[in-house]
Amino acid sequence: MAVVRMDAAFINSLTPAMIPPGKDKITFYSDRDKGLMIELRATGGATFYQRYYNEYGKLRAKRIAAVGDITLDQARKAGAKIRGQAALGEDPVEAKREKRATPTYGEYAPRYLAHTATYQRSPETTEQYMRRHILPRWRKVLLSDIRQEDAALWLGEMAQKGFAPATIERARVVFSHSLKLALQWGVPGLSKNPVVGIPRPPLNNARERYLTTEEAQRLKSAVEQSRNKQLKYIIGLLIQCGCRVSELLHAEWSHFDLERRLWRVAQSKTGKARFVPLSQGALDLIAELPRYDRCPYLIPNPKTLKPWVGIFMSWDTARKQAGMPDLRIHDLRHSAASFMAGAGIDLYTIGKVLGHANYKTTQRYAHLQSDQLIAAVEAGAAKLGVQWTQSR
């Protein structure tokens, strides 16, 4: 150990000749700056280092910079900062190693997508949000550099660009979930999820659009004329059963107990299996369905004998021919609920038929029962038989 008076004159005197014979380097320690040292190598290069003890009492040395790249005063200040970090329980050497091991979000994203593809029913949707909205902003950013403020600004910018609130919310959910898993997996660079805690405006996407009986008849005529011969069955069963499109397109014959008039939806949106009761109209439609050899699906694409990837083109043509270009295919589910409510069915039963996990979701149909409720109070008042006001 060589303890020296480390000053400008000493640094200017550094030369490989100071290295003992048979050695390839020598280390000099400052007599006034605790832990500050210079490593001089046989090649003539010299480097400032700062020694410190980590929280476990282990002696570490953190490289500061090459002698000549910074001044001695700058090296002293940097060394003092390192000692201060160590005194607070930080380990600058480990922090640097973690920084080097920290991936960018673009490097981490494929791992997340590969994982979601193993259990999500529609991993292509997650991939789409990742590709269109998340990676363009975060691809080159280290996980350790993702700040809550920047994430909040990004979501705000999406709103300013005119993206729908539901799109922004889905992008936020995918981004947040990916960082949550990175934390669980111990990916270097994250100590918390920066998306958690960002305030978000309430999402109100409960659009009210219901078919009338006359509109339903027009739609029936349009789908019967469609070039897609399966469309009339798809639309008919959506209205008859009030199910979700994805549930119907992936339905298999083995899921149906026609004698008991029940359809078991194995994978619903809530993640739980549920039973859909079948009306006589639904049973009649199912009886007309064409059957294909070695095909388990109820209404497959006749060309592939697999579930439809999408039916938008044929649906879009049919709704326009029916004079309802604003009608969404999901509105058929709302319409099924409205017809049940109009027939006097209580909201609890409607929620069970539709597979709502939350009763509040069914509450949107409460106003559709107004005629039945009015009729109920009128019947009660008539039964009472007492006139509480003076007759006119």
Residue range 2-101 forms a domain whose CATH class is alpha beta
Q: 209 falls in which pLDDT band (50, 70, 90)?
A: confident
Could you tell me the pLDDT band of residue 101, with boundaries at 50, 70 and 90? confident
Task: Tell me the average pLDDT across 77-90.
Answer: 87
Q: In 10-68, where do the E strands start and end? A: 25-30, 36-41, 46-53, 59-66
Please give the pLDDT value at position 93. Answer: 72
* pLDDT exceeds cutoff 70 at 271: no
- What is the predicted pLDDT for the residue at 360? 61
pLDDT tens digits, one per residue of 114-159: 999 998 877 888 999 999 999 999 999 999 899 999 999 999 999 9
Query: Is the predicted pLDDT of residue 241 greater than 90, yes or no?
Result: no
Evaluate if residue 291 carries a pLDDT over 90. yes
Query: Domain 213-376 is of which CATH architecture?
Result: Orthogonal Bundle (1.10)
Question: What pLDDT digit, counting tens, does each position of 42-75 carry?
Answer: 999 999 999 988 888 889 898 999 999 999 999 9
Which positions ≥6 away from 273 have C-beta within 8 Å? 264, 265, 266, 267
The helix-helix angle for 231-241 and 331-342 (nearest 10°) equals 40
In this prediction, residue 132 carries a pLDDT of: 94
Outline where 260-358 has alpha helix (H): 280-288, 312-321, 331-342, 347-354
Kindly report the pTM of this predicted structure: 0.52
Block residue for tokens 């999408």: 310
Query: Does residue 296 register a pLDDT over 60?
Result: yes
Query: At 385, is the pLDDT very low, low, confident or very high (cuts 50, 70, 90)?
Result: low
Q: Which CATH class is domain 105-185?
A: mainly alpha
CA 389, CA 366: separation in Å to the nearest integer? 30
**Domain extents for the chain?**
2-101, 105-185, 213-376
The CA distance from 175 to 130, in Å, is 8
| pLDDT, mean over the chain | 86
Q: What is the pLDDT of residue 148?
A: 95
Q: Which residue has the higher pLDDT, 369 or 356?
A: 356
Instruction: Tell me if residue 187 falls in helix, strand or coil.
Output: coil
Query: For position 204, what pLDDT does the model report?
Result: 57
Nearest Cα neighbor of 347 from 329, 327, 373, 328 is 373
Locate tokens 């997340």: which residue? 112
